[in-house]
Amino acid sequence: MSEQDNNGRNGKRPFSFHTDLSVFMPATEEEKAQQDIMRPSSTFWRDGFRNFRKNKLAFGSLILLIIIIFTILIVPMLIPYGYDEIIRIDGKRDKTLSNLKPMQWSERELEAKANGKEIFPHILGTDSLGRDYLVRTLYGTRISLFIGFFASIIVLIIGLLYGSISGFAGGKIDLLMMRIVDIIYSLPDMLLIILLSVVLREAIGDKIQGTFLSKLGTGMLSMFIVFGLLYWVGMARLVRGQILAIKENDYVLAARSVGASNARIIRKHILPNCISVIIISTALQIPSAIFTESFLSFLGLGVAMPMPSLGSLASDARGAIQSYPHKLLYPALMICLLVLTLNIIGDGLRDAFDPKLRK
Amino acid sequence: MWRYFVKRIALAIVTVFAVMAITFFAMNAIPGGPFDTEKASEPAVKAKLEERFNLDKPVGEQFVLYIGRLFQGDLGISMRNGREISLIIKQSFAISAKLGGISALVAISLGLTLGIIAARYRNKWPDRVIIFFTTLLQSVPSFVLATLLLLVFTTQLKLIVAWDANKVNYLLPVISLAMYPMAYITRLTKSSMLDVMNEDYIRTARAKGVPRLSVTYKHGLRNALLPVITYIGPMIAYILVGSMVVETVFTIGGLGQEFVNSVNNRDYSMIMGTTIFLSIIMVTMNLISDLVYKVVDPRIDFS
């Protein structure tokens, strides 16, 4: 018999590391059950999404946005009119067809209908050239949303690359790169956007003739160029600040000390920690791009003519606002609805994914 | 502190210079010179004109000469009507400055008031109503708001005379211009008020027995004002750009309307002149709001 202390060590040789297993008891089933993980482990995304879904306003806005996107994709296919199609009846232009009120028929159409011809109604009326206004509004929403998304993707890519290079490099390179950002940041962006749009429309008009870019039109193209030139600085600053802050964290040091490569540190530690801020800021960039587009359209610098955007539709409607106020109403409502839902979704994403930024 | 000031002022000067360079070279990139009009003028006349405006010299030299004249306040003449641009700006900016000044005052005073109310009654109905309307106002483009106001108040309700040759009615333009910054300031004030009211010194003041109103205004608002000060620079920029839209809708005839007209007429020298003028104002305003911020808040370190 040997004497044993509480730790099961052999009393005669107190410094021995050999453990006497006989003093240990197997855990009962009940004790084992305590170790079970009660709920499945939650990832960052699942957590954020759950928070987002709790926010009824933001989740409702997301659903509304999805409905809008499906509507603008599907409904124009169901309506037999094109966005730039001047509607003709039996191959003839109809003067009374222009500027119709919602659900109104022109005289020639009524005749044709009396003769037993099926004609699709103009649900939102027609514009001054006799084009179906519902189709134009839906196409305009498409264009505006496309501009918003694409512009924020441009901003995201340039800002992300520039900001992360600057943040990682540090030192003199960082200082120089951030000085450039400081200068661009303090430029009056709206004025330069107007200026560059004027210049680019004149300067690139001939150069893109015949290429696929001419389909986009100079107006939209110059808008994207301007976004790419000026709007990325905010994103670059944000990304750089995030990376600088995260780089200093102890878990990055710990990862480095166990021999993780730079690529792994970026992938596993830095990106997941700043991605939420980047996504939120990209989401909030979309409505601001839609705003900018509508402003440029007001100045006549928006998308090129037969193609409608919400901004150009609204600004065209201003001319005949006294006689046809409904023509301003639809695109204006659509802009407000889009910007409102996108803003609420952006705020909701911020609350859900980044409690630090919550206001 | 002085080091920061000098650095900030240097940045502002570089920015203004960058704007001048961008505008100048961008305008030069447009194909065709200013005197290539539809009516072909005599080659001799054209040569004389180009000599007068230094267009016969290399671009680099033109730029130096342009900057030189700029510092003497000479922005050249409009390509469309031949008037002195500096004169047009001087006349029209008086109107824009008045409109913008009133709008800024309205936006700040209303925004602060509503923000304090929203923070005070957090999550009760006044807060909800205010936040609902400010969110809504932030999603309406200014030209839509301006057009709707014009339509409703002048043609439908006939409450306001839309246009009077002798007197400009500033009410509707000010509303359409001030609403967006007001909504922004409201939300900013609310969130910064809520942050400040959670600080320890607020609790200390309340514990000492300072009346609630006094705590809100003396301890709370003074500190909550700081983020609002930083917004003043961007707000001035918004108002200057926004007044382009609003002045055009209400045909007030300020600098913004001149700018929109010059864009529509492709009056390049006028676009260049107004862009530079407005940029200098915006950069200066940003500079002032940054400097004031640093002076007002002694907690900020200047390194």
Determine the pLDDT at residue A212. 64
Percentage, residues of chain A above pLDDT 90: 5
pLDDT in the model for residue A54: 85
Is the pLDDT at B215 greater than 80, yes or no?
yes
User: A328 and B147 in contact by Cβ < 8 A?
Assistant: yes
Measured between beta carbons, the chain A residues lying within 8 angstroms of B231 are: none
| Residue B106 main-chain phi, psi, to 5 deg | -60, -45
Per the structure, the count of domains in chain B is 1
Distance from CA of B144 to the nearest CA of A (A): 6
pLDDT score, position B300: 61
Give the chain B residue nearest A288 (alpha carbons): B139
Instruction: Name the CATH architecture for the domain at A50-84+133-357.
Output: Orthogonal Bundle (1.10)
Kindly identify which residue of chain B lies nearest to residue A300, measuring between CA atoms.
B264
pLDDT of residue B164: 59
Domain boundaries, chain A: 50-84+133-357, 86-130
Using a CB-CB cut-off of 8 Å, the residues of chain A touching B138 are 339, 343
* Ranges of H-type helices in chain A: 29-34, 44-54, 56-78, 107-114, 133-169, 171-186, 189-204, 213-226, 232-247, 250-257, 262-265, 271-298, 310-317, 326-353
What letter does residue A258 receive in the DSSP assignment? T
Q: What is the band of A221 on the pLDDT scale with cuts at 50, 70, 90?
A: confident
DSSP assigned state of A119: -
* pLDDT for res B186: 93
Window 172-231 of A: residues touching B by CB (8 A cutoff) are 182-183, 186-188, 190-192, 194-196, 198-199, 202-203
Give the tens place of pLDDT for each residue, A48-88.
888 888 888 889 999 999 999 998 888 877 777 777 777 66
Which residues, 6 or more positions from A217, have their beta carbon under 8 angstroms from its beta carbon? A303, A304, A307
Lowest mean pLDDT, pick from A4-8, A154-158, B107-111, B277-281:
A4-8
Answer for the pair A94, A87: CB distance below 8 angstroms, yes or no: yes
Q: Do B241 and A318 touch (CB under 8 A)?
A: no
Closest alpha carbon to A137 in A336, A289, A292, A308: A308
Angle between the N-to-C axes of helices B255-264 and B222-250, in degrees from 0 to 180, rounded to the nearest 10: 50
For the domain that residue B77 is a member of, what is the CATH number?
A: 1.10.3720.10
Contact B9, A180 (CB under 8 A): no
- So what's the pLDDT on residue A67? 92
Length of chain B: 303
User: Rounded to 5 degrees, what are φ and ψ at B201?
Assistant: -65, -25
Residue of chain B nearest A207, judged by CA positions: B31
Residues in A touching B247 (Cβ below 8 Å): none
Reported as a pLDDT band with limits 50, 70 and 90, residue A358 is very low
Contact, A140 vs A334, CB < 8 A?
A: yes
| Average of per-residue pLDDT values in chain A | 79
pTM of whole model > 0.95? no
Among all chains, which residue has been given the structure tokens 């909800």? B128
To the nearest whole Å, the CA of B66 is away from the closest chain A CA by 18
First to last CA, chain B: 8
**Distances in Å between the alpha carbon of A194 and those of A190, A284, A293, B29?**
6, 22, 11, 15
Q: Which of B16, B25, B144 to mutate to test the interface with A (most CBs of A within 10 A)?
A: B144
For residue B134, give its domain range.
1-303
Q: Do A190 and B241 touch (CB under 8 A)?
A: yes
Cβ within 8 Å, pair B30-A203: yes
Interface test with A, best of B143, B189, B261, B266 (most A CBs within 10 A): B143
pLDDT at A64: 92
Task: Round to whole Å and give the CA distance between A297 and A328.
Answer: 14
Whether B144 and A195 lie within 8 Å, measured CB to CB: no
Cβ within 8 Å of A, B 121-140: 135-136, 138-140
pLDDT digits (tens, 9 = 90+) for A52-61: 888 888 899 9
